[in-house]
Amino acid sequence: MRRIEDKERELQELLSKLQHDVGPVYWYDTVLSTMDVGFEHSDAADRTVIVADRQTRGRGRYGRLWYSEEGSLYCSIVLTRFDIRLPYSMIAAYGVYRALMRHSDRVKLKWINDVMWENGRKISGVIAEERRQRTVIGIGVNLNNLKFHKKIEMTATSYRRETGECIGVAEFLRDMADEFFSLLAAVDKDGIERVMAEWETDASVRGRAVRIVDSSRELLGTSTGIDKRTGALLLHTEEGDVKVYEGSLFYR
Ligand code: BTN
């Protein structure tokens, strides 16, 4: 686990030009998971940013592995604010979506915290973990990797694979941090409901026939929007209206 000081300095420099306060930056060559590093920095300042070129056990939701080939963005942001009611992972995914939209409008925001390419392949995933009054947000964005593990070859993609163009990892992280911290500022100023209303519009979730799968069940229905406080998906099913808090969403 070696620190890469020139990349740290470059990123710190880019982040210092933002209008938002950002904590210290740590850039490693290879880690197991930036999530673990985030929690290991037990005295980490708010908005500490941890980046790695590669992860050997990057983790996704539901205990899945997040394959982390060099060339893409693998980072965690430590937040010392802790409000269990806020859907931080959705806000972070929204930040990723808005940063990607600066490059291409062929990306789609998908409940609960994914960003997809227009062909339905996943380009980014976000995870949030809470421990000891600290939230660590983990963000993976397939920017420039062209190799995909065979398990995700048909379902994942990268910006470079789709467009033939590269995006600098540090520059993208700056844009994503800019969007994410702007959204957090908007939550503080106008309330979560306002931000989630924009999220709902940008994700076009209303009136879609969907299937939700989680570890214990499958639900079929039509999504009627999201709950603006919690981010739960509002689903109209044959058995009635339900709020769904977790699960993988598939459009039918
Ligand atoms: C998902 O399953 O969609 C969430 C994927 C989150 C992956 C990122 S990569 C950086 C951070 N470190 C991890 O181990 N996971 C997250």
Report domain extents, the chain: 5-200, 205-251
The pLDDT-based confidence of 204 (bands split at 50, 70, 90) is very high
Task: Look at residue 150 in the predicted model and tell me its pLDDT.
Answer: 94
The pLDDT-based confidence of 83 (bands split at 50, 70, 90) is confident
Is 72's C-beta closer than 6 angstroms to any atom of ligand 1? no
Average pLDDT over residues 25-30: 97
Does 5-200 match 205-251 in CATH topology?
A: no
Measure CA 67 to chain center.
Answer: 15
**Centroid of ligand 1 to alpha carbon of 141 (angstroms):** 9
**Centroid of ligand 1 to alpha carbon of 12 (angstroms):** 22
40 φ, ψ to 5°? -65, -35
DSSP 57: S
| pLDDT per position as a tens digit, 133-158 | 889 999 999 999 999 999 999 999 99
Exposed (0-12), middle (13-18) or buried (19+): which is 154, by Cβ within 10 Å? exposed
**Closest ligand 1 atom to 140 CA:** 9
Nearest to 114 by CA among 153, 162, 62: 62
Nearest to 171 by CA among 17, 31, 32, 3: 17
Is the model more confident about 18 or about 217? 18
| Spatial CB neighbours of 134, under 8 Å, sequence gap ≥ 6 | 39, 44, 78, 79, 80, 82
Task: Look at residue 212 in the predicted model and tell me its pLDDT.
Answer: 96
CATH of domain 5-200: 3.30.930.10
- What residue's CA is closest to ligand 1, atom 10? 74
Domain 205-251 has CATH 3.40.720.10: no
